[in-house]
Structure 1
Amino acid sequence: MTRALNKLSAAFVKFAPLGKHSDGGGLWLHRRTDGGGQWVLRVTVHGRRREMGLGSATNTPLKQVRIEAEKWRAVARDGKDPIKERERQRRLAERSMHILSDVARDCFETRKAELKGEGKAGRWFSPLELHVLPKLGKVPVAEIDQIDVRNTLLPIWHSKAATARKAMERLSVCLQHGAALGLHVDLQAPAKARALLGAQRHKVTHIPFLPWQEVPAFYASLDQDTVTNLALRLLILTIGTRSGPLRFLREEQIHDDVWIVPADEMKGKRNSGSDFRVPLSRQAMAVINKARSHERDGYLFPSVRKGVISDATMSRLMERRGMEARPHGFRSSFRTWCSEAAEAPWEIAEECLAHSTGGKVERSYKRTDFLEQRRKLMQRWADFVVPA
C-alpha cells in the first residue's frame, strides 16, 4: 500500500509546533525546543532502517526537500545505502575540485617568490599553460598517470624537446605540490612517462655568434645613439649580463664604475642570493652616460610607449641587417676571444660570464668574485672592441 505523500504545507512548516511531523514517504520534520527544525528522511535498506538528515527546515524549503527526498528514496529502492552513497559522491566531488589547473596555479603562486620578477613574465608557467593544461587541466590530480602524461607530451617530445622537458619538470613540481596538500598523487607519473617516451631525438641548435674578429666593426656600425644601439653596445661591453638585466638597468644600480645586478635578475645566481658585480670599462661608462639622456621612470633603456625595450628589440636590429648572429651570441664571441687572443685564465673568463665554476663544496669556500682581475680583462675587451 502506497503511503500518502506531501502531507505538510509551507505555512505549517513555518509555524510547526514542537515534535515530529510526517510529510509522508519517510520524510519527517523535527521541530526542536530551541525553535529550529531539521528535515530527516527514513528509509529501509536490506531490512535496516536508516535516518538521513536533509538540512535545516529554516534554510531548506519544503518543495526543495521533497525533491531531495525522492532522489534518495530512489537510491534506497536500488538497494544502496543513501547515506553511504551521499558520502561517496561528496568524496568524488571533493576530489574533482582538485583538478590539475587549480593545483598548478596554486603551485605557481606559492613558488613566485623564487622566480625572477615573481614570475611576471610567465616563463615558468607557460609550458604548462600551452602544452599540459589544455589536455589535463580539468583532470583531478589523483587520476593523472603516466599514460596521461605521455599522451600529452608526445606531440612535442621530439619537435620541441626543451619545452617538453620544462613542461615535464613543471608538472612534476605541481604533483609534488598536490601531495603536500594531502591529495593522493602518483609522484612517479612523470618519471614513468619519460621512460615511455624514450630519448629525445631533437638536435640542440646553438645560438649563432659573430666571430670575435668581426665584433669591433659591428660595434662601430652602431654609431647612432638610439636606445637600441646603446643597449646593444653596452651588452657587448658588459658581456657577463644577459639582455634581461640590461634592459631593466636602473640608475641606482650603477655605483661609481661598478654595475650591481640583483641576484634575482641573474640566471644561475638566484639560488645563491649573491648580487653580481659588473666592472665597467671606460667605454661602458661612456655608453651609460649617453643612455642617461633617454632615462624614463628610472630605466636607462625605455621603450617608445611604456616600460623598457622588449627582449626581441636588439635581435630584430641584427636580423634586419641580414645577420645570423644574435645578441646572446656575443657571450661566445667574448669567450672565444678570451681563449684565442687574450689567453685569459679560465676561471676569470668564466666569472666574467657569471658562470658557476668548481663543485658545490668548492663554491661554498670561494669568497671572491675576482672583481679586480675581471676589471682588467673587461677593459682589455673594451679596448679591443672600441680601439682608440
Structure 2
Amino acid sequence: MPRHLLTDAQCRSATKDLSDGRGLLLRVTGSARSWGYRYQLNGKRTTIGLGPYPAVSLSAARERHRDAETLVKQGIHPRDHWATQKRRGEALRDVAADYLATKQKLKRGGEAGRWMSPLETHVFPALGDLPIIDLTVDNISDALRLIWQTKHPTAVKALTRLGQIIRWTGGRDTRIDVNLSKRVSENLGEVAHKVTHHRAIHWKEAPAAYAALGSSTVQLALKFYMLTCVRVQNVTRMTWDEVDGDVWYIPAERMKTGAPFRVPLSRAAQDILRRMPKGGEIVFPSAHAYKKGLISENAFAKWFKDHNFDSTAHGWRSTFREWCVHEGVDDYLAEVCLQHEKRQKTVAAYQREDRLEQRRPVMDAWSGWIESKEERMWARQRHLNQIAEPASERTVAEVEEWFHDLDDWQEEG
C-alpha cells in the first residue's frame, strides 16, 4: 500500500478528509483539521488521534504514524502503549493524586489529606519524584525501614496505601509488579508489635461522665456522641438534612464501612437536637474552628482528659460494648449498634439488615443508664427546692438520707 500521498499545500487547503496512505488520515471538521490513524488489530478496526494540524506538521504526523504502525505489527494498541509510557514518566506523588481523585468516593468523609498523610511523611520524601515503574522492593524498604520497628502501625498504613496505588496502576501496565507491597512487607520482616487499645472507662462510670457535661456546643455534641455511640466524625460532621424524626441517616460517604447507616435516636438524643439552633447546615457548628466550622475531633478527647476520665473519645464505644455484655445484649446486635457489621452497600439490602427496630430498645436502655446519675442530680435539686416551700414537710437531712440510700441501692444493683 502506497504512503506519503499528501503535500503541505493539500493539507492547508483541505476541505474534506484526505489519506496519506497506510491508514494515516487528515480529518476535516469545519475549519479544524487533525491527524488520525486507522488500523485493524485482533479483527477490530480502530482509529486513534495523532494530534491537530498544523500544530502537528505533515512530517511529524508521518513520524508518529510510523511509530504506531510498528506497535500494531507487534500486536500492541498504540493508545494503550502511549498511555503507559506517559504514566511511567509521572512521579509517584502525581500518580497518587490521580488515584485519590479517581477513588475519592471510597475515602469516607472526603479527608484526602488524612489518607495521604502517611505517604507524604514517610514515602514521598524519598520516592515521591520517582516514576512508579521504577519502584522496587529495595527502595521502598529503605524508605520505610526506619519506622517499621518504631512506628509499625504507621508504616503498615503507608505501605498499604502505596500498595493500593501500585495495584491500581498495574491494572493498566503489566510491567508493574502488583504484589510489590506484599514483597516489601516480607522483606522488612515481622515485628513484635504490642497492640494498644483505646483507653476506656468502666461502664459503671459512664453516668458520672455524662452528668459532668455542660451545655456548650462541644459538650452537647459529646453528649450526643455518648448517647449514639457512633464514630466521632459522624457527629462533628452531622447535618440537619440527615435527621428525620427519631432516625438519623448517616450517608455512605461518611461511613467507614462504605454503607449508609441509620441511628435510632433516644428521647435524650432528640432533646439535645431540639436545643441546637437550626440556622445553618451543621448540627454542632464551631465558631472557633480553623476549618469548615467543624468541631475538632480532638475536642472530645480533651474534655475526657481535662475532667480526669481515663478514656479517649473512641474508647467510649468500648465502654458501651462492655455495658452490652453486662446487659446480655445479643453480640451481633451490639456490633451493629457500633457500625461494625459489614452489610451490603445497596440501600435495599441495608434497610433489611441494619435491624433498626431491634437496636432502638438497646439504645433507649443505654440512654436511660448514662442519664441515671444526671436524673438523680436533677431530682435531688427538685426535692431540695421543695424544702424551701412553706408547705413542705421534709427536712434537708431527710432528703439527703433518701438520696444516699438510693445511690447505695443502685450501686448494689
Give the TM-score normalised by structure 1.
Answer: 0.69
Query: Are 1:325 and 2:316 matched, yes or no?
Result: no
Q: Does residue 1:230 correspond to 2:216, yes or no?
A: no
Residue equivalent to 1:260: 249
1:275-321 deviations in Å (ceiling 9; x for gaps): 2111111111111111x23x452112111245210111111112222
| Equivalent position amino acid for 2:283 in 1 | L
Determine which of 159, 181, 196 is the counterpart of 1:168: 159
Please give the alpha-carbon distance, in whole angstroms, between the structure 2 residues aligned to 1:258 and 1:238. 11
Aligned counterparts of 1:280 and 1:96: Cα–Cα separation in 2: 52
Does residue 247 (structure 1) correspond to residue 236 (structure 2)? The answer is: yes
Is residue 164 of structure 2 the alignment partner of residue 148 of structure 1? no
Distance 2:249 2:122 in 1: 37
CA shift for structure 1 position 159 = 1.7
Cα 1:280–1:137 change in 2 (3 A) is: same
SS of structure 1 residue aligned to 2:133: helix
Tell whether the 8 Å contact from 1:296 to 1:302 is kept in structure 2 after alignment.
no
The amino acid across from 1:352 in the alignment is C
Aligned partner of 2:117 in structure 1 is 126
Match of 2:370 in 1: 385
Q: In 2, distance between residues paired with 1:139 and 1:178?
A: 14
Note the C-alpha offset of 1:258: 0.9
Residue 200 of structure 1 aligns to which amino acid in structure 2?
V
How far off is 1:99 after superposition?
2.2
- The 3 A distance-change label for structure 1 pair 254 and 182 is same
Match of 1:157 among 142, 148, 160: 148
Aligned to 2:329: 344
Q: Measured at CA, do residues 300 and 365 of structure 1 come closer, stay the same or move farther in structure 2, by a change above 3 Å?
A: closer
Amino acid at match of 2:248: W
The structure whose Rg is larger is 1
Identity of aligned residues (%): 34
Report the 3-state secondary structure (helix = DSSP H, G, I; strand = E; otherwise coil) of the residue aligned with 1:260: strand
Contact conserved, 1:156 with 1:164, CA < 8 A, in 2?
yes
Give distance in 2, aligned partners of 1:182 and 1:354: 37
Q: Where do 1:265-276 residues align within 5 Å?
A: 265-268=254-257, 270=258, 273=259, 275-276=260-261
Aligned to 2:97: 105
CA RMSD of aligned residues (A): 2.9
How many angstroms apart in 2 are the aligned matches of 1:126 and 1:355? Answer: 25
1:322 CA displacement:
3.4
- Secondary structure (helix, strand or coil) at the match of 2:283 reads coil
Measure, in 2, the Cα distance between the counterparts of 1:357 and 1:97. Answer: 39
Q: For the structure 1 residues 263 and 218, does the alpha-carbon distance in structure 2 shift closer, same or farther, using more than 3 Å as the test?
A: same
Shift of 1:355: 1.4
What is the match of residue 375 of structure 1?
A: 360
**Which structure shows the bigger proportion of residues in helix conformation?**
2
Identify which range, 147-156 or 182-191, moves more after superposition. Answer: 182-191
Structure 1 stretches lacking a partner, 5+ long? 1-31, 37-57, 60-89
Is the CA contact (8 Å cut-off) linking 2:91 and 2:132 kept in structure 1?
A: yes
Instruction: Give 1:16-35 correspondences, 5 Å limit.
Output: 34=9
Letter in 2 for 1:238: T
TM-score normalised by structure 2 residue count: 0.65
| Unmatched runs of 5 consecutive residues or more in structure 2 | 1-6, 12-53, 56-81, 376-413
In structure 1, the partner of 2:270 is: 285
Q: Distance in 2 between matches of 1:104 and 1:346?
A: 39
Q: CA deviation at 1:128?
A: 1.3
2:100–2:112 CA contact under 8 A, matched in 1: no
Report the residue type matching 1:236 in the other structure: M
Distance in 2 (alpha carbons) for counterparts of 1:172 and 1:323: 39
| Residue of 295, 301, 311 corresponding to 1:315 | 301
CA distance in 1, matches of 2:355, 2:315: 24
Matches within 5 A, 1:184-199: 184-199=175-190
Please list the CA deviations of residues 15-69 of structure 1 after superposition, one character each: whole Å capped at 9, or x if unmatched: xxxxxxxxxxxxxxxxx88499xxxxxxxxxxxxxxxxxxxxx99xxxxxxxxxx
Asked if the contact 1:144/1:186 (under 8 Å) is kept, the reply is: no
Match of 1:115 among 107, 114, 126: 107
CA distance in 1, matches of 2:252, 2:88: 40
Given that residues 159 and 181 in structure 2 are in contact (C-alpha distance below 8 angstroms), is that contact kept between their aligned partners in structure 1?
yes
Deviations 1:328-381 (A, max 9, x none): 1111111111111x1112222111111116999xxx799332212211111111
Instruction: State the AA in 2 paired with 1:158.
Output: Q
* Alpha-carbon displacement from aligned partner over 1:251-287 (angstroms, at most 9, x marks no partner): 221111111111221212x1xx4x2111111111111
Q: Is residue 300 from structure 1 mapped to residue 283 from structure 2 by the alignment?
A: yes
Report the equivalent of 1:219: 210
Alignment partner of 1:155: what SS? helix
